[in-house]
Each structure stands twice: as C-alpha cells, then as structure tokens.
C-alpha cells in the first residue's frame, strides 16, 4: 500500500500543476493597456459608496510602489463600501504612501 502512494503521488502532482516541472509558459497574448485620460494623485484613499466612473484616468497616491510589501487599508487608492461599483480607472504604480 505504501509503495502505491509513493508512485501515484508524484504522478498526480505533475498532472495537477499548471505547467510541467522545469518548463516556462510562452507568452501567448499581450493585454492592451488603455490610454490614460489624465491623472489624479490622492492624499488618502477615495471612499466609494455608490458607483464611480473614473473616466479612464490614472489614480495614485503620489509615492513609488515599494514592491511586495503591503501596508493594509491605509495604502489603498480606493476604498469600496458595501455595494459600491468602481469602473474605468487605471491604478498607477504610485499607489503606496
């Protein structure tokens, strides 16, 4: 019984992984970035309570992104309340204060 798990488990992991071991995916599509219609720099998160159409502007917080570190809600560009809708916004690379 132990031997069957030893053989079956690596085979199942190979099938379950998104890419075969040791191989890289080739890029098949480039997502088109929309053209920004201006920019807005916010000193604090914009609270959205209903529906907000950003008009395809770039929104940010005025400071360069610090990589993978995250500071929680205070670093957010937008704070959406229950039932709120955010559309047509581009969140820029300067989202973290």
Six token digits for residue 74: 């205070």
Are the C-beta atoms of 51 and 85 separated by less than 8 Å? yes
Strands 39-41 and 78-80: unpaired
pTM: 0.61
* H or E element, residue 2: helix 2-16
Evaluate if residue 59 carries a pLDDT over 50.
Answer: yes
Q: How many residues does the structure list for the chain?
A: 97
* H or E element, residue 86: strand 85-91
| pLDDT, tens only, 21-51 | 667 778 888 888 889 999 999 999 999 999 9
């Amino acid at each position: 019984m132990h031997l069957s798990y030893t053989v079956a488990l690596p085979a199942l992991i190979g099938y379950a992984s998104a890419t075969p071991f040791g191989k890289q995916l080739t890029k098949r599509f480039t997502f088109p970035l929309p053209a920004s219609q201006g920019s807005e720099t916010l000193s604090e998160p914009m609270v959205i309570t209903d529906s907000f159409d950003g008009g395809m502007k770039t929104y940010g917080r005025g400071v360069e992104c610090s990589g993978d570190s995250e500071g929680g809600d205070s670093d957010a560009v937008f704070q959406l309340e229950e039932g709120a809708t955010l559309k047509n916004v581009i969140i820029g690379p300067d989202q973290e204060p």
